[in-house]
Amino acid sequence: MTDLATKLSVAAGAVFESMGLDAELGQVRRSDRPDLADFQCNGAMVAGKRAKKNPREVAAEVAPKIEALDFVESVDVAGPGFLNIKVSAQALQERAAQVLTDPQSGGGKVETPRHVMMDFGGWNVAKPMHIGHLRSTIIGDSLQRLFRFLGDDVVSDVHLGDWGLQMGLLIVGVSEEQPDLPYFDADFDGEYPSESPVSMDDLERLYPLYAGMMKEESVVETVEDGKSVFKKVPNPAYREEIRSLAQTATADLQAGRRGYRALWKHFCDVTQIGLERECGELGVKFDLWKGESDANVLLPEITEDLKSRNIAVLSEGAWVIHIERESDKKDMPPFMLVNSQGAVGYHATDLGTILDRKRTNKPDLTLYVVDARQALHFEQVFRAAQLAGYENEDALEHIGFGTMNGKDGKPFKTREGGVLKLYDFISQAKDKARERLEETGMGADYPAEERADIADKVALAAIKFADLSNVRTKNYVFDLDQFVAFEGKTGPYLLYAAVRVKSLMRRAKEEGIQAGEIKIELKEERALALQLDAFETALKLAYENRTPHGVCDHVYTLAQAFSSFWTNAPILKAGVPDEVKASRLALAQATLKQLEAGLYLIGIETPERM
């Protein structure tokens, strides 16, 4: 399928080319004034400058040739040489009918499918998902859905943080609290327990406790002259030896100490259970649950390889890669391969992961959906991968994003000022959705189980649409009261639009009315058909720019166009001719199909009724 904008651009390009001009001048786009035209072309403006002619004269020559196309109704020359194009009702009818039968709902496909690796999640072992993990999870999921929908072969990897200093710190914590466990006996050669000696609650307690012991100072908040003041004070829990013990334990773990590996495996398994629960709540799935540790087997090979080729050099006891370039306008710190203690960190494991994926998955493109504040890290890693010859830098992309803030404009936190767990955040959203449904009376007579399911869908629609409808790279303020509303640009509004069409379909079936041939007559029908046609362009831009908000904008505008159509083009009303009912019912079906396809791409599922 080809949308009308593309079809027009090709045809108009041929017209310009027939006049000895560049075909690219025929590019058309949606009109800024839909009350005047469906599409506009500004090629005559450029052509006039190149040919040193009056642009309006060029436009006047081009206009009748474009108007002669069988799917164009009229072309007007406006202003200094703009071409305002209105397509025929027949073209819109055919396009809407195509949407109704197309498996892609009019969304198109990429010309050349690629193997794409999606790296998102990136949670740390021993830590529960919190509100700061929300954006990476749902932006990454939306992108993997979009890329798959358009034809790419996508593999998503959660890429757990399971191999750094925090692992050694946890080993130290468990050893101090449970010193008699066999994991700490270097001479133990039996089978280690299959049951974990620690729960997720234990890990959540141990990590901040022992991480705090490594800090010489604590930051406390006091009130002076009625204002909050943050001061550094000596940390009473500080223990000088903890960092050294944790570093040694980390190095031993990475070197393969048997007991530490067994205990570490328990840490990972216990954590994954909790993470899969939160992912399930969000409707997010990963193909791979690999971690930094999976690259560990390659690190000796990589280290020797880079040393032998003098890509890695010794600097103050550490092995580093100098990645600065003459064109750099800012200082570029070296890439740390192995630190002075002999341990590896995020740089090395990320480089190892690139090589592992290159050998195993052979991706054409890898996207890292990670907070924008990690931009420097990824620039270092990508440059190192290029220097090492492991992957082309242009095949690696950091998809950065801004922060989700509270109403105070600061990163979202609990009322007490702590980091809000994601599970608790989702629960709050579900509670608010139930309140809103009760206020509106929606589903009051439905079974309790169905009402709960509707509330869950409303909550997730509110969360996901609120996040994804914002420009990915910018910060935004999350207002739960606003985002669970059924009015305005919200997820629940879109659910209500979809449910309204489903209700219409049920009524039509009861009355024995079936969809028929689409006929475009009213301006509201025309506007709706044009919006259905815009899906392919919206997805293409979202795909190319890695911006889910483009999908959100489309489905919202589609819902608005349907609302106007619903109000001004009665479908099942008595007195409406049967063929008109059949036409409008088909147009409504096409709308529902595309609306649900778009909502799927942003991870939103619609209920059958509300």
**Any domain includes 409:** no
Same domain, 290 and 356: yes
For residue 358, the surrounding DSSP H or E stretch is helix 346-360
Rounded CA separation 605/610 (Å): 13
Structure token digits, residue 538: 């919206």
- For the record, the structure tokens of 218 come out as 């604590």
Specify the pLDDT at position 9. Answer: 96
Residues 395 and 455 in one domain: no
CB-CB contact of 321 with 333 (8 Å) = no
Show the DSSP H helices in 389-490 as ranges. Answer: 422-440, 448-468, 480-483
Domain of residue 42, residue span: 4-87
Q: Dump the DSSP string for 128-167.
A: --BGGGHHHHHHHHHHHHHHHHTT-EEEEE--BB-SSHHH
Task: Decide: 118 and 369 in contact? Cβ < 8 Å.
Answer: yes
Q: Are 444 and 586 found together in one domain?
A: yes
Q: List the Cα angle 138/450/468 in 5-degree steps.
A: 15
Locus of tokens 């009524």: 507
Tell whether the model's pLDDT for residue 218 goes beyond 90.
Answer: no
Helix spans in 22-111 (H): 43-51, 55-67, 89-101
User: Which residues, in sequence order, are bridge partners of residue 30?
Assistant: 39
Residue 66 shares a structural domain with residue 213: no
- Are 242 and 355 contained in the same domain? yes
**Among the ranges 30-44, 342-356, 549-563, which has the highest mean pLDDT value?**
549-563
Burial 349-387 (b: 16+ CB within 10 A, else e): bbbbbbbbbbeebebebbbbbbbeeeeebbbbbbbbbbb
The CB density around residue 3, as the number of other CB atoms within 10 Å, is 23
How far lies 129's CA from each of 126, 276, 282, 290, 349, in Å?
10, 10, 12, 17, 22
Predicted pLDDT at 385: 98
Rounded CA-CA distance 466/463 in Å is 5
Residue 411 banded pLDDT, cuts 50, 70, 90 = confident
* Alpha-carbon distances, residue 494 vs 145, 218, 556, 596, 605 (angstroms): 19, 47, 7, 9, 10
- Residue 278: the pLDDT is 87
3-state secondary structure of 397: strand
Residue 166 pLDDT greater than 80, yes or no: yes
Give the pLDDT score at 23. Answer: 95
Tell me the pLDDT band of 416, cut-offs 50, 70 and 90.
low
Domain end residue (candidates: 399, 429, 452): 399
Q: What is the pLDDT of residue 557?
A: 98
Mean residue pLDDT across the chain: 94
Helix (H, G, I), strand (E, B) or coil at 123: coil
Amino acid (1-letter code) at residue 32 = D
pLDDT-derived band at 407 (thresholds 50, 70, 90) equals confident
Contact 571, 583 (CB under 8 A): no
What CATH number does residue 537 fall under? 1.10.730.10
* pLDDT at 417 (0 to 100): 58
* Residue 433, domain member (yes or no): no
Nearest to 257 by CA among 332, 194, 185, 191: 185
Banded model confidence at residue 419, pLDDT cuts 50, 70, 90: confident
Is 506 inside any structural domain?
yes
Tokens of residue 341, six digits: 């203690």
pLDDT value for 365: 98
One domain, residues 336 and 449? no
Q: What is the CATH number of the domain that holds 33?
A: 3.30.1360.70
Q: Are residues 374 and 456 in the same domain?
A: no
Tell me, yes or no, whether 592 and 455 share the same domain.
yes
Confidence of residue 340 (pLDDT cuts 50, 70, 90): confident
Q: Which of 340, 342, 284, 351 is nearest to 311 (CA)?
A: 351
Do residues 352 and 360 make contact, with C-beta atoms less than 8 angstroms apart?
no
Same domain (yes/no): 75, 164 = no
163 and 50 both lie in a single domain: no
192 or 292, higher pLDDT:
192
For residue 577, what are the contacts with CB-CB under 8 A and spacing of at least 6?
none
In whole angstroms, what is the distance from residue 395 CA to residue 539 CA? Answer: 21
How does residue 89 score in pLDDT terms, banded at 50, 70 and 90?
Answer: very high
The answer on pLDDT for 1 being more than 90 is no
The answer to whether residue 591 sits within a structural domain is yes
User: Contact at 8 Å (CB) between 515 and 582?
Assistant: yes
Cα distances from 99 to residues 3, 412, 460, 531, in angstroms, run 10, 41, 27, 11
Above pLDDT 90, what percent of the chain?
A: 84
pLDDT attached to residue 555: 98
Which CATH number is 270's domain given? 3.40.50.620
Bridge partner residues of 223 (DSSP): 228
* Number of domains composing the chain: 3
Q: How far is CA 211 from the centre of its chain?
A: 31
Asked whether residue 219 falls in the same domain as residue 295, the answer is: yes
Residue that finishes a domain, picked among 22, 57, 87: 87
The pLDDT of residue 335 is above 60: yes
10, part of any domain: yes
Residue pair 465/483 in contact (Cβ under 8 Å)? The answer is: yes
End position of a domain, from candidates 399, 425, 460: 399
Q: How far is CA 167 from CA 181, 202, 240, in A?
A: 17, 14, 18
In a domain, 415, yes or no: no
Residue 416 lies in a domain: no
Q: What is the pLDDT of residues 576-596, one digit of tens each?
A: 999 999 999 999 999 999 999
407: in domain: no
Confidence of residue 469 (pLDDT cuts 50, 70, 90): very high
- The pLDDT, as a whole number, for residue 593 is 98
What does the pLDDT look like over 496-522, one tens digit per residue?
A: 999 999 999 999 999 999 999 999 999
Whether residue 255 sits in one domain with residue 143: yes
Q: Band of the pLDDT at 172, cuts 50, 70, 90?
A: very high
